[in-house]
Homo-oligomer: A and B are copies of this chain.
Amino acid sequence: MTPADPRERRDRVFGPGMHLSYDRPVHAVSARNVWITEADGTKLLDAYNNVPHVGHGRPEVVRAIAAQAALLNTNTRYLVDGVAEYAERLISLLPEPLDTMFFANSGSEANDLAWRIARTVTGHDGAIVTANAYHGATDLTMATSPEGLAETGAALPAWVATIAIPGELDQPSISSALHRLGQSGHEPAFLAIDTVLSSDGIFDPGPALSPLADQIRAAGGLFIADEVQAGFGRIGETLWGFAESAVVPDIVTFGKPMGNGHPLAAVVTRRDVAERFSERGYYFSTFAGNPVSAAAGMAVLDVMAAEALPRRAEKVGGYLRAAIRHIDHPAVGEVRGRGQFTGVEIRGEEAGAAAHRIVNAMREHGVLIGATGPQQNVLKIRPPLVFTEEHADILTAALRKVLTDL
């Protein structure tokens, strides 16, 4: 017998580790553009989900998926023009010499492969990540995700060392992390950075990436830019989080917004790195690089370009941050971020609990946001790129009301 309550029904089939967002979970039945509709008809403004990059249910993407699924869906063992065409298009948006692509099905798979490539090519096994990083749910990527490990109190393995954020951005240094790796007998294979530093509390790394890349290379490791969160114009017209530093990463990984919800992810690297990996490592994925995923990805890039969404992300994101900074409330600390990725620091005692109350009150006022950072005290605002000033005004008005009632 099926329980009538949707939460009870879900809990009956999922394990206890599958958390729901919000104290009163969202019961979603449909979504369009930046609005999610609940079973009772309530419309929620989605200021949280970066996956529906060009909008929920975006017709151009839906049509591309439907047409390609009807025409041909196969794998990379066969020649399919649209798949190569998408790879060419993505590579054309990256700086030289990043010219070789591996498809994957999720950001986790992309990072897992990137870590494998770095370890295989360098012959080292150590990793350096930020102190509250999250890089994925596979065994290897979870081991480099202090935020994920903290969920159950699991320890970071000895081959992973961390750099403090924002501490080690001002005087960019991995020397302490290198020292700790060395003490535990590991040499560094890579330094990986989510270029919007999302789970570390949302920071703009500014020019710090370039000296960090120099240091990891000097130590014999590769510099990996994790663009799963920042990429595809979220941070603005430069498209990629690493682009504002004068650095070309050795490996870049992509995920979340890439297929507007269709499982699509990728790794791009230099040809010499790919060649050295392939001599000693094997990778093939049945689903990755299927023509339907590629068609979804292409439609996303087409809409992004046609509507200049990266520029809009900068403009509306800047407008939103300015509006939030105008809210005069003692709990509101630094308002930071880039493009359409905004962090609002909540300060005071038990700031994490306060942020939790704010996030849930916002949901009751019809606006979906989240909280992040090591203390979970940074409001995370990361809407689809089709978000407008009008939507920003709705969010700001709700936040003002929620803070007043706090």
Contact = CB atoms under 8 A, between A and B. Distances in A.
B9 A84 contact: yes
Contacts of A26: 77-79
A367 to B, nearest CB: 15
Interface in A35-82: 36, 49, 51-52, 56-57, 59, 61-62, 65-66, 69-81
Given A28-B72, A57-B71, A286 B18 contact: no
A263 B279 CA distance: 28
Contacts of A29: 71-72, 80-81
A87 to B, nearest CB: 4
Contacts of A263: 105, 263, 287, 290, 293
A154 interface: yes
A330 interface: no
Interface string A10-47: 10111111111100011111110000100000000000
Interface stretch (A144-152, A162-170, A305-313): A144-152
Contacts of A9: 81, 84, 88
Contacts of A354: none
Q: Which of A28, A80, A87 has the most CB of B within 10 A?
A: A28
Given A10-B79, A84-B13, A282-B152, A72 B30 contact: yes
Given A6-B81, A28-B72, A263-B263, A13 B100 contact: yes
Interface in A122-173: 137-140, 142, 148-149, 151-152, 154
A261 B26 CA distance: 29
A113 B17 CA distance: 13
Given A75-B51, A78-B27, A16 B275 contact: yes
A282 B15 contact: no
Contacts of A10: 79, 83-84
A139 B112 contact: yes
Nearest to A279: B152
Main secondary structure of the interface of A (DSSP, over half): mixed
A74 B49 contact: yes
Q: Which of A71, A138, A274 has the most CB of B within 10 A?
A: A138
Contact of A116 (B70, B73, B107, B139): B139
Q: How many copies of the polypeptide does the oligomer hold?
A: 2
Contacts of A277: 15, 17
Given A73-B57, A79-B25, A287-B105, A100 B15 contact: yes
A362 to B, nearest CB: 15
Given A112-B138, A263-B287, A154 B280 contact: yes
A137 B221 CA distance: 23
B15 A102 contact: yes
A69 B78 contact: no
Q: 4 nearest interchain CB pairs?
A: A17-B278, A15-B274, A66-B66, A13-B87
14 contacts: A9-B81, A9-B84, A18-B76, A27-B78, A31-B73, A36-B74, A51-B286, A51-B287, A57-B69, A65-B65, A65-B69, A137-B284, A138-B138, A152-B281
Given A15-B101, A56-B74, A142-B282, 15 more contacts: A13-B99, A14-B102, A15-B274, A17-B283, A26-B79, A36-B72, A51-B73, A51-B75, A69-B261, A73-B260, A106-B285, A106-B288, A112-B112, A116-B142, A138-B138
